[in-house]
Each structure stands twice: as structure tokens, then as C-alpha cells.
Amino acid sequence: MTAERAEASVAKVLSDTGERPWRSSDLHGGDEYSATYEDLTHALGDFLDRLAEARPDTELIESMTESLAGWARELGPLAVRERDRVFGRRTDLASRGQTMSPTIELAEISDDSASGTVYFGSYFLGGNGAVHGGAIPLMFDEILGRLANASGRPPQRTAYLHTDYRSITPVGRTLGVRAWLCSEDGRKRILRATIHDGETLCAEAEGLFVALKPGQP
Ligand SMILES: CCCCCCCCCCCC(=O)SCCNC(=O)CCNC(=O)[C@H](O)C(C)(C)COP(=O)(O)OP(=O)(O)OC[C@H]1O[C@@H](n2cnc3c(N)ncnc32)[C@H](O)[C@@H]1OP(=O)(O)O
């Protein structure tokens, strides 16, 4: 499958209803950004990890609050329609140009499987060194959603996502992640995924993805 076809497939999933279909350039956020947007999202992710780890004094808290408020004021007037945004639309980047879920670095991807690594920074801490229980299915939806929508398959949405937590998923370690297609039945596809810390199975998930009908949002 070509990258353009994959993007077109995902674009349809993510598109606004009733508007023109997205183009490849929409998903990549246009050509003008090159690597700079990835640098921005890495810097933002790093900031969130450092914030989660730090115990800043009042003076620094006030200074950071003012800086962040300043950036929000600057960005506010630059808001655009969903299809014209960059955040989460950079399908050429491992992070998709977003910080909502951790970056998944895929070392291998085929029509029906994918594997690589994921790193949950301190921002994703639940407690006692374990990743928050909500961040894990978020990551599973991300990798399963990418695989479900790959390889020329029609655009799909998650109908259910079942997660089993087998042992704690540690923060601050590079973990293995695998995803694979299990079955296809008409519009329905079942996919599974795992997170491993070395030989230890941390969590596993099963998702049902349903192909959208024409015009379905
Ligand atoms: C590079 C890439 C970058 C892009 C990478 C992007 C990565 C992120 C991807 C994230 C993807 C998401 O999170 S999507 C967002 C979260 N999901 C949603 O918001 C979905 C909300 N729900 C829906 O829109 C709908 O319920 C659908 C589309 C899932 C299904 O509705 P429908 O189209 O009317 O179909 P329906 O007839 O109900 O169901 C079709 C068949 O599926 C079965 N079915 C439906 N739901 C369920 C269910 N929960 N559990 C069991 N079975 C179910 C039905 O029994 C039926 O089986 P049978 O009778 O035919 O046998």
C-alpha cells in the first residue's frame, strides 16, 4: 500500500463531515513545517515529563504560568478548522505530531502486524512507578487504530477496546509493543496488542474495529 493511500484512508476516518475530503498535504500539515513541528512536540512532551517530576517554588510556578498564558494568547487567534490543523495529523512522524499518547517507534510494520517500542515518561505516571491505567488503552488504541486503518483497508473506528493489566507497566523504561490483525468478518476486524518489559507481559488488549459506511462520521 502506498503512503498516500494509507493517508487517504486515515484522512477519511478523521475528516470533518460534509466538507471536502482531506488531502495528503492536510495530514502532513503542509510542507512548510518539515522537522520543526516534531521538535516542538518533543519539547512539549519533555516539558510535561519534567513538570510531572519537579517540585518548583512559587516564583517559578508564577513565571511558568505567565509564560504558558502568553503562548496561549499567541496561539488563540491562529485556530483553524480541524482538517487544517497540524497537531496529530503528522502521519509521517512516529508521534503523529501529538503529545496525547506516548510516541510509538515502529521497527516493523506489515499489512497485518506491527512491532516496536514505546516509552511512557513521567507525565503518564499513575502511581508507584506504574503507568496510569487510562494511558495504556490510549496507547493500544493508537497502535491498533493505525494498523486497522493501514494496508488499503477501509477507514474504521474502535467499537470496543478490552485491556487486561497483567503486571505493572513501568514509567521511564523502553518497552516492547506488538500489534496484529486476528480476524476479519465483513465490516468487523479484531486486532490484538501487547506491551512487554523484557520478558514480562505488562498488558494486552483486544479491539474490535468496524469499517465505516459511506458518509458515516
Ligand atoms: C497512519 C495512521 C495514522 C492515524 C492513526 C489514528 C490512530 C487513532 C485511531 C483511533 C480510533 C478511534 O479511537 S475511533 C474513536 C472511538 N470510537 C468511536 O467513537 C466509535 C463510536 N461508535 C460508532 O461510531 C459505531 O457504534 C460503530 C461505527 C463502531 C458501529 O456502528 P454501525 O456502523 O452502525 O454498525 P453496527 O451495525 O452497530 O455494528 C456493526 C457490527 O459490529 C458489531 N458491533 C458494533 N459495536 C460492537 C461492540 N461494542 N461490541 C461487539 N460488537 C459490536 C455489531 O454487532 C455488528 O455486527 P454484525 O451484526 O454485523 O455481526
The CATH code of domain 101-217 reads: 3.10.129.10
Could you tell which of 13, 162, 210 is best to mutate to test the pocket of ligand 1, judged by most ligand atoms within 8 Å of the CB? 210
Per-residue pLDDT for 172 more than 70? yes
The complex's ipTM works out to: 0.96
Query: Cell digits for 62?
Result: 508564577
Quote the percentage of the chain above a pLDDT of 90. 69
Report the pLDDT averaged over residues 68-89.
94
188 CB near ligand 1 (under 6 Å): yes
Query: Do the Cβ atoms of 1 and 152 come closer than 8 Å?
Result: yes
Q: What is the pLDDT of residues 1-18, one digit of tens each?
A: 333 433 333 333 333 334
49 CB near ligand 1 (under 6 Å): no
In which band, very low, low, confident or very high, does the pLDDT at 32 lie, cut at 50, 70 and 90? Answer: low
Determine the straight-line distance between the first and last CA of the chain, rounded to whole angstroms: 24
Residues of the chain with CATH 3.10.129.10: 101-217
Average pLDDT, the chain: 87
* pTM score, whole prediction: 0.88
Residue 129 has phi, psi (to 5 degrees) of: 80, 0
Report the pLDDT averaged over residues 181-196.
97
Q: 3-state class of 202 per DSSP?
A: strand
187 CB near ligand 1 (under 6 Å): yes
Per-residue pLDDT for 85 more than 70? yes
